[in-house]
Structure 1
Amino acid sequence: MSDVVTSLPGLEPTSALSVETVLSVRMWNEHLFSFTITRPASFRFRSGEFVMLGLAGEQRPLLRAYSIASPAYAEELEFLSIRVPDGPLTSRLSQIQPGDQVYLGRKPTGTLVADALLPGKRLFMLSTGTGLAPFLSVARDPEIYDRFDQIQIVHSVRRVVDLAYREPLEAKLADDPLVDEQAATAFSYVPTVTREPFHTTGRIDALIDDGTLFKDMPGEKHLDPETDRIMLCGSMAMIKDLAAKLETMGFVEGSNSHPGQYVIERAFVG
């Protein structure tokens, strides 16, 4: 690992961007992919944060905010992305191969972090689509298991093939070298598919209302602002609907400066 890439041809680092090398690419389906890149030795982040990532543009770098999917201790950085048809960045990013170069922002940030939440007993991470990414990082952070008794990821997608990372999540992160023992008893995963037959087919708000969300979770079969903490990431519609629902239940949004009972990524929803 190195702090600045200066010898490789192609992209040039700047004061705000380092140049990193693609290490691996995985296509989950025709439009969903993940990839890993080199991690600068000085790059530090909190689980759940995002960073700017991109490629060269005609006049300036073409950048987009991406949540970091890898745990904070990993030597590589992992990202999950969807290819948007005719998207100026994702249409090109979906074609990257090992050995290619990408720009990486030097300053990760974000509010989907444990520090933005008040202490609690249960942590629910509610996601749609690629909104799963930051929760993959949070769920593999040993500190999160010190903060909460129970950790749950809920992932809502349209099709079964959109359930990226399903196998390790169903296995309760058994291959993780740092949290496998805690996750065996404290972690649960609820995948739900909205447009195809599956064992769970409701939207997240319906799973809350009918109690499905709590089938593998000890404690109350409803959300309680006294003990439960919630992170939301995914489609803007989901975030706005669920945030409004949580507010009516007495949950207060948190931030890095004022921790609360639930958090969203403001940078992504405006």
Structure 2
Amino acid sequence: MTLLTRPPALLPAHGSFLTSGVRWVRHWNEHLFSFAIERPASFRFRSGEFVMIGLLDGERPLMRAYSIASPAWSDELEFLSIKVPDGPLTSRLQMIRPDDQVYLGRKPTGTLVADALLPGKRLFMLSTGTGLAPFLSIARDPEIYDRFSQVVLVHSVRRVSDLAYYDELTAQLASDPLVQEQALLQFHYIPTVTREPFHTTGRIDALAASGALFAPPVLGERRFDPETDRVMLCGSTAMIRDFAAMLEGLGFDEGSNAAPGHFVIERAFVG
């Protein structure tokens, strides 16, 4: 239990946004934290979508887009964020505590959803940094295990301490009541670190080129195949740009909500 040393920070009502109370906050290191807020009864979303989150800045809310890290069935909305010391929002958002309030957008949206992909056998979710967030949502959604026989989550970070949710993912979501049995057989987690010693090192493109992404227990071809594989990309602009170009060269088509394809990116976060 967290003891508050100050009264909860309550926000004035704003017609454009909902207000929601903070349930918990977890600081992974000096650069990274997670938090969850109460999910309003009227709020509906698809696993993998994002929504606007914010705090009051003078007389107006300051809002930024955040991918929802909790699955669509959860009674809370979970988020993963970096800490930017001088960031207009994150410099303050990292100070929130349980029972504080944040503003929440009314309409989630996004293309990192299963509906934007054609049917396939293997789903690869490739992420860097906080790009992990939407894939935490998708990996905990039972529907994804009905759509794909294998679900592969790759998370690339600079330092070992940046591997948020490492214990839960290494355990193949064993504590998740809705997907634990399916995840034990179908879910594969591949963390990689680029600037510190770790059992897997190197960028995601290097792991793909070497075949490490397709090593056992990931079954099937030791390469990306548009006939069977579907890919989701979220993270740094450079990673997304390079991987999208590589996939297109292999015959993959980008998908959207209107026209499902072989791979998807979240263009709202790409410059």
Q: TM bucket by the smaller chain? A: over 0.9
Using a 3 Å threshold, how does the CA distance of structure 1 residues 85 and 9 change in structure 2: closer, same or farther?
A: closer
Which residue number in structure 2 is paired with residue 261 of structure 1?
A: 262
Q: Could you say which residue in structure 2 is the equivalent of 1:226?
A: 227
Question: What TM-score do you get using the length of structure 2 for normalisation?
Answer: 0.95
SS in 1 for 2:57: coil
3-state DSSP class of the match of 2:269? helix
SS at 1:27 equivalent: strand
Of residues 15-24 and 224-233 in structure 1, the stretch that sits farther from structure 2 once superposed is 15-24
1:166 aligns with 2:162: no
C-alpha separation between the residues in 2 aligned to 1:99 and 1:20? 9
Please state how far the C-alpha of 1:58 moved relative to its aligned partner.
1.6
Query: C-alpha displacement at 1:202, in angstroms?
Result: 1.2
Q: Distance in 1 between the 2:76 and 2:112 partners? A: 20
Q: What secondary structure does 1:61 align onto? A: strand
**TM-score (structure 1 length as normaliser):** 0.95
Once superposed, what is the RMSD of the aligned Cα atoms?
1.1
What is the CA distance between 1:139 and its match in structure 2?
0.4
Pairing 1:100-249 to 2, within 5 Å after superposition: 100-215=100-215, 216-249=217-250
Q: CA deviation at 1:13?
A: 3.1
Name 1:56's counterpart in structure 2.
Answer: 56
Tell me the equivalent position of 2:33: 33
Which residue of structure 2 lines up, in the alignment, with residue 5 of structure 1?
none
Q: Match for residue 5 of structure 2?
A: none
Tell me the CA shift for residue 99 of structure 1: 1.1
Letter in 1 for 2:202: G
Shift of 1:9: 8.0
**1:132-159 Cα shifts (integer Å, max 9, x gaps):** 0000000010100110000010000000
* Alignment: residue pair count: 263
TM-fit CA distance, 1:87: 0.3
Q: Any conservation in 1 of the 2:10–2:100 contact (CA below 8 Å)?
A: no
**Within 1, Cα distance between the matches of 2:67 and 2:13?**
21
Which runs of structure 1 show a deviation greater than 3 angstroms over 4 or more consecutive aligned residues? none
